[in-house]
Chain A
Amino acid sequence: MIDTRVLVVGGGPGGYVCAIRAGQLGLDTTLVESGRLGGTCLTRGCIPSKALIQAASRFDALTRHVGDGHMGISLAAAPRFDLAQAVRWKDGIVERLSHGVAGLLKKAKVRVVYGHACFSDAKTCTVTRSDAPPLRIRAEHVVLATGSVAAPLPHLPYGPDVLSSTEALALTELPRRLVVVGAGYIGLELGIAFAKLGVEVSFVEAQARILPGYDAALVRPVEQWLRTHGIAVHVNTRALGIERRADGLHLSVQTGADPARTIACDKVLVAVGRRPCTQGWGLEQMAIDMNGPFVKIDARCHTSMRNVWAIGDLVGEPMLAHKASAQGEMVAEAIAGHRRAFDPVAIPAVCFTEPEIVAVGLTPEQAKAQGIAVVTGQFPLAANGRALTMDAGADGGFVRVTARADNHLVLGIHAVGAHASELSGEFAHALEMGAVLEDLAHTIHVHPTLGETVPEAALAALGRAIHI
């Protein structure tokens, strides 16, 4: 039996950050994790997928050096890809980061209990452990950070041939043909990576276009990349079921009202979104109000039950690691008695597609829908020197700034282009600081860097871009 001031359930980027901050603040803190520290993000999401994407991009880049070469570098033979080795490399990174998290928790004097927690009331849980007897934990404050799981399709249950992103990242052998059901950011990121590795990939998307959550202009370069690489995208198409025949797997699909047809493949990746992990840990015993499938919270991430808090994927969209971490840190401080609230101007989002998409704040359409008159400025990566030297200028990428017409307050910054993800911090920073167009325009950026596109886009919005 443990009595603790703060009990954090779930060791993902929300839970472990919350626990570290609580420990820093001198709160007696216990963290329960049923798998490995780092959660989905670190062990089967963000980090593993970025490792795979990096390997795939390197492989793809190397293939361009075969034969006549590129940049003066030529390869005599095509590069070979060994997925098992890549996965070992990826696992090494995950291992290292997970250990890092354990070290940080130890340094913050957080008690970590490995096992599956199940609540009997809002402040008491029993942790079932594989290597020890069950442990009861009573807490003054409970922080729920159980995260999310890949949503299944009822007629396409996960199995050896129907994979979620988790299994897709753990494959040791490349399938020859892969159908990705769901062309959201997870499906596209993984599908494009597999395509770069030589897998014959096609997408099945129920809605009218890929990345339906992003505005069309941003998505266009990605669509163009898919098109030029011969990747089939079946939009307005539903996956109906899977059939194993003598000649292999056949995914049966239906486009609009057309007759059903089949797509032959070796594996199917289902990436139709994630659902909050609300089952199997006694949430129903805690008398907590729900908000649809999510746990209902207020601006401080406090639930309807006194001293029970909830963060991350469990409480709603966007299901992003950095949102969970920010909420976790905030909740720890709130528990320590600080007046805090979760009130970001923007939660930045990145798609590690080819090319990458960054979305921070409002798009012009969203601003107009709110009745705000806006000015926008756009600057193409094709006009940026550094982008050209990085082979990043030819894929239609750009940076776009959206600002209020009346006082030039920056409402949103969006970008699409190779390596654009690394600009996301500057975008978010500008919005959080309440920057106006002139602030962006008058900040000297290093030449030559991709970041120069930001002041140029702001100048374009002011009607005086230099380099276009």
Chain B
Amino acid sequence: MGKYVFRLPDIGEGIAESEIATWRVQVGDRVSEDQPLADMLTDKAAVEISSPVAGTVLELRGAPGDKIPVGAPLVVLEVEGAGNAREEAASAPPPPVPASPPVPAASTPPPTPPSMPAAPTPRTDPPAATMRPPGVKPVAAPAVRARARELGIELQYVPGSGPAGRITHADLDAYLRQRAEGSMPAAPARPAARTAVEEVRIIGLRRKIAEAMQRAKQRIPHFAYVEEVDVTELEALRAHLNQTRDPAQPKLTLLPFLLRALVRVLPRFPQINATYDDEAGVLRRYAAVHCGIATQTAQGLVVPVLRHAETLDVWQMAAQIKQLADAARAGKATREQLSGSTITISSLGALGGIVSTPVINAPEVAIVGVNKIVERAVFRGATVVPRQMMNLSSSFDHRIVDGHDAASFIQAVKQHLEHPATLFME
């Protein structure tokens, strides 16, 4: 019997480190060759890492959320034969880069199974700062008591940070601030204040989303543009197609039609179907329309990519959108399916609201948001008629896309959507 140290393999495209999403095995598990050991996160996707050997898991090096450099030990297995553990002794491996807080870099003592971030321990903050039960006198110096009384504050409801829950002037200040923000009860007659604070480590997909959103908002001067579109005729067409469709065909949503409009319009606006490498100072304008479809999953937002939309008809698009969404929601989307978009559509469906301000999926330069369709009273000549109306809320990278071009682009999309026959006329 020997030890086999399994190191994180290179999972592609210059990735230097990867985050542990979930362990698929536990210490003591018997694994067979090619059995998944862990899901590792890259910028775009969760990648399944499989065991190259059969054996028993001795150690898991890290907890979900930890970033592991490529080439660092990930799992130690006990295997038949000599294993490769001597190699480990020869070249001291780089330790895993701990995501805060550090997780002990495993060594001789057998590590306990990693704690799951999905079950964070709720706690109050700080521990001493709990509400006193009625009848327990608050502890505070006379000056603090006098000041509280002058302010009309019942110290009973002020969390104390000092020893034995002693309330300081600073605690009183904090309470005043919080009360001003409306998060604390002003009078004891109201329901008891909720003071529990739950700490949730932002790891995995959520961290990716957070980083991407922050990068986009920090770096890209967003230009927002909202226009309303009369989709009465488009909706009539869609309803007709759905009623008469082959049962094998997927149901059509609005998205394939919007995609079709983009495919028709984008060749006239090459700077909008593009990615901007702002560090290199290079804009890549694409002939192909690889459209990201913002998709909500149980873990959070992911953006699978419909590739070469220009080659697909609405039925194919509908089928592929469904396929991509299903894969994303199941966490099975591949890295290829999650990268390479040139423009993105964001649609909240029935939750679309009136206006949204979508965040650009960097390094792209445009994102088109779909708001909900509502029937509104619209003037047609001298009469008011009911029409199906929908807003498009879009954001553009103002470094690349001028307001005039953005508006022209959306107006062109609008023309196609309001006259759906033009979507299909070459």
Contact = CB atoms under 8 A, between A and B. Distances in A.
Tell whether A pairs with B. yes
A343 interface: yes
A340 B141 contact: no
B64 to A, nearest CB: 36
A409 interface: yes
A339 B164 contact: no
B150 A434 contact: no
B109 interface: no
B164 A409 contact: yes
Contact of B163 (A338, A341, A345, A438): A438
Given A338-B150, A434-B166, A343 B141 contact: no
A81 to B, nearest CB: 43
A370 to B, nearest CB: 10
Interface string A407-447: 11100000000000000000000001110101100000000
Contacts of B165: 407
A339 B149 contact: yes
B162 interface: yes
B164 A407 contact: yes
B145 interface: yes
B146 interface: yes
A409 B141 CA distance: 13
Contact of B139 (A341, A343, A409): A409
Contact of B145 (A343, A404, A407, A438): A343
A408 B166 CA distance: 11
Interface string A320-350: 0000000000000000001111010100000
A433 B142 CA distance: 7
Chain B's interface size range is: 10 to 19
Contacts of B139: 409, 434
Of the listed residues B142, B145, B164, B167, the one surrounded by the most CB atoms of chain A closer than 10 A to its CB is B164
Contact of B150 (A339, A409, A436): A339
A434 B162 contact: yes
Nearest to B138: A434
B281 interface: no
Contacts of A341: 149
Interface string B155-176: 0000000111111000000000
B152 A339 contact: yes
Given A409-B139, A433-B141, A434-B140, A439 B146 contact: no
Contact of B164 (A340, A343, A436): A436
Nearest to B128: A407
B169 to A, nearest CB: 13
Contacts of B167: 434
B164 A404 contact: yes
Contacts of A407: 163-165
A41 B166 CA distance: 35
Given A433-B141, A434-B139, A434-B140, A340 B162 contact: no
B149 A434 contact: no
A341 B145 CA distance: 10
A404 B163 CA distance: 12
B142 A432 contact: yes
A434 B164 contact: yes
Interface in B251-265: none
Contacts of B146: 340
Contacts of A409: 139, 163-164, 166
Interface in B201-233: none
Contacts of A438: 163
Contacts of A404: 164
Nearest to A340: B149
A340 B165 CA distance: 23
A271 B166 CA distance: 41
Contacts of B149: 339-341
Nearest to B146: A340
A75 to B, nearest CB: 48
18 contacts: A338-B150, A339-B149, A339-B150, A404-B164, A407-B163, A407-B165, A408-B163, A408-B164, A409-B139, A432-B141, A433-B141, A433-B142, A434-B141, A434-B164, A436-B164, A436-B166, A438-B163, A439-B163
Given A407-B164, A438-B163, 12 more contacts: A339-B151, A407-B163, A407-B165, A408-B164, A409-B139, A409-B163, A432-B141, A434-B139, A434-B141, A434-B164, A434-B167, A436-B164
In the complex, the 5 A-B pairs of residues with the closest C-beta atoms, listed nearest first: A434-B139, A409-B164, A407-B164, A434-B166, A436-B163
Interface of B: 137, 139-142, 145-146, 149-152, 162-167
